[in-house]
């Protein structure tokens, strides 16, 4: 297993051996299962290795992750900015997990950029920016959590991976692959999962804890999205869903409630491109998903100030919801051929 550059690994190992001050672990804005899972796992590992560690996350994470081991100790920047700034300022080492550019932490981008600590990136998003001192950036992997597993092994500490660490890593791998649905065509991902099961995790229980947690309102919101807010454009192999602020108020919207809705649009036969628009006070937030070759990373970068992976990306629009939807649909004709090709290729069995 040679995912990482050996020299970088040994330099980081040497660095961590010398550190006796505070280590800070950070992750991206709107932390998801992989962001939180990789951070909690790395945090617990470093603590077991005798380090002083703090985890700083930009804002609240969804309720369906609130059972994860150690989550109660994560410092939420939005609520505890002073304490977090102090920690960032005096940190000797700052780990940057599951994001590829400093601005992705949002609230504390400036503080992070200016912090003197050695910045170590562990991430799987394409085109990382050169904001970091050491980079463990691997695109061809399921998740940052898988990379944290590899990182701990690379440090020679696989013995320190206990059940709690394994649970956090598994949550990251499971959620970032949509329960082994995408981004997981790698034997190594399953080898890692096998190791995590050997370390005592209960995958069936973890699945229940993460996914069988809908509030009644959240389930009805999903129904509403599919019946009232979804448009299917067959000629462009595209389906999109939108939600206004008013809609969200009606369903008592909580962070994480819209997680996964975009995938329903993509599950429609013949659809290779799905988009989900949510109206926020200052922007329209968009999630993009695709099947096959159509790159939603490129699409989000080119048109909606965003990015991500080939088949899952996000972006923002600073126009009204109506104008945003108009802009989106007006862009589709130029991609018609590519989208239809992607849809037809995705609908047949191919073998390497």
Nearer to Mn ion, 210 or 339 (CB): 210
Question: With CB cut-offs between 5 and 8 Å by kind, which of Mn ion, ligand 5GP, none does residue 218 bind?
Answer: none
- Using CB under 6 A as the criterion, which residues of the chain lie in contact with ligand 5GP when the complex forms? 125, 287, 306-309, 312-315
The residue behind tokens 């390497």 is: 352
* Contact (CB, 8 A) for 81 and 107: yes
123 Cβ neighbours under 8 A, 6+ residues apart: 96, 97, 98, 99, 100, 135, 136, 137, 144, 147
Nearer to ligand 5GP, 173 or 312 (CB): 312
Asked if 92 is part of the footprint of Mn ion (rule: CB under 5 A), the reply reads no
The interface region with Mn ion, picked from 72-80, 171-179, 183-191, 297-305 by CB under 5 A, is 171-179
Sign (positive/negative) of CA torsion 35, 38, 26, 151?
A: negative
Count of residues that interact with Mn ion, criterion CB under 5 A = 5
Nearer to Mn ion, 70 or 314 (CB): 314
Asked if 338 is part of the footprint of Mn ion (rule: CB under 5 A), the reply reads no
Q: What is the dihedral of CA 340, 341, 346, 347, to 10 degrees?
A: 70
* Contact (CB, 8 A) for 25 and 54: yes
The interface region with Mn ion, picked from 18-26, 174-182, 287-295, 333-341 by CB under 5 A, is 174-182
Question: With CB cut-offs between 5 and 8 Å by kind, which of Mn ion, ligand 5GP, none does residue 307 bind?
Answer: ligand 5GP
Supply the minimum distance, in Å, between the C-beta of residue 127 and ligand 5GP: 8
Supply the minimum distance, in Å, between the C-beta of residue 286 and ligand 5GP: 8
| Strands 52-57 and 75-76, sheet pairing | parallel
| Strands 75-76 and 238-243, sheet pairing | unpaired
Which residues on neighbouring strands pair with residue 169, listed in sequence order? none
d(CA 339, CA 324): 20
Asked if 259 is part of the footprint of Mn ion (rule: CB under 5 A), the reply reads no
Half-sphere exposure of 329 (CA within 13 A, CB side): 14
Q: Of 285, 286, 289, 299, nearest to 332 (Cα)?
A: 299
Burial label, 241 (beta-carbon count in 10 A; 0-12, 13-18, 19+):
buried
Site string for Mn ion, 44-83 (x = CB under 5 A): ----------------------------------------
Supply the minimum distance, in Å, between the C-beta of residue 262 and ligand 5GP: 7
The residue behind tokens 């009644």 is: 216
Asked if 98 is part of the footprint of Mn ion (rule: CB under 5 A), the reply reads yes
* Contact (CB, 8 A) for 32 and 63: no
Supply the minimum distance, in Å, between the C-beta of residue 342 and Mn ion: 23
Supply the minimum distance, in Å, between the C-beta of residue 302 and ligand 5GP: 12
Question: With CB cut-offs between 5 and 8 Å by kind, which of ligand 5GP, Mn ion, none does residue 313 bind?
Answer: ligand 5GP
Supply the minimum distance, in Å, between the C-beta of residue 307 and ligand 5GP: 3
The interface region with Mn ion, picked from 98-106, 185-193, 303-311, 337-345 by CB under 5 A, is 98-106
List residues binding Mn ion (CB under 5 A). 34, 98, 143-144, 176
């Amino acid at each position: 297993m040679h995912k990482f550059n050996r020299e970088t690994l040994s330099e980081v190992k040497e660095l961590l051996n010398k550190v006796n001050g505070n280590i800070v672990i950070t992750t991206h804005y709107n932390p998801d299962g992989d962001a939180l899972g990789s951070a909690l796992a790395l945090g617990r590992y470093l603590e077991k290795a005798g380090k002083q560690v703090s985890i700083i996350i930009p804002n609240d994470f969804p309720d369906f992750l609130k059972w994860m081991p150690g989550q109660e100790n994560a410092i939420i920047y939005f609520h505890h900015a002073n304490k977090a700034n102090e920690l960032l300022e005096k940190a000797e080492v700052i780990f940057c997990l599951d994001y590829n550019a400093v601005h992705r932490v949002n609230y504390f981008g400036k503080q992070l950029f200016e912090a003197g600590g050695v910045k170590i990136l562990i991430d799987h998003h394409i085109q990382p920016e050169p904001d970091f001192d050491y980079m463990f950036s691997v695109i061809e992997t399921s998740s940052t959590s898988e990379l944290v597993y590899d990182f701990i092994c690379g440090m020679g500490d696989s013995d320190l991976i206990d059940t709690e660490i394994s649970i956090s890593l598994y949550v990251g791998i499971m959620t970032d692959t949509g329960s082994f649905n995408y981004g997981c065509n790698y034997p190594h991902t399953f080898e890692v999962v096998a190791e995590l099961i050997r370390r005592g995790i209960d995958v069936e229980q973890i699945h229940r804890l993460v996914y069988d947690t809908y509030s009644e309102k959240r389930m009805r919101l999903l129904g509403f999205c599919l019946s009232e807010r979804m448009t299917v454009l067959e000629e462009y192999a595209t389906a999109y869903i939108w939600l206004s602020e008013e809609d969200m108020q009606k369903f008592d919207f909580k962070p994480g409630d819209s997680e996964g809705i975009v995938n329903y649009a993509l599950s429609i036969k013949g659809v290779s491109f799905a988009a989900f628009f949510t109206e926020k006070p200052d922007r329209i937030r968009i999630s993009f998903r695709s099947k096959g070759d159509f790159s939603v990373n490129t699409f989000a970068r080119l048109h909606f100030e965003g990015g991500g992976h080939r088949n899952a990306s996000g972006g923002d629009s600073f126009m009204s919801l109506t104008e945003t939807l108009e802009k989106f649909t007006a862009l589709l004709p130029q991609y018609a051929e590519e989208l239809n090709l992607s849809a037809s290729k995705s609908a047949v069995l191919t073998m390497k």
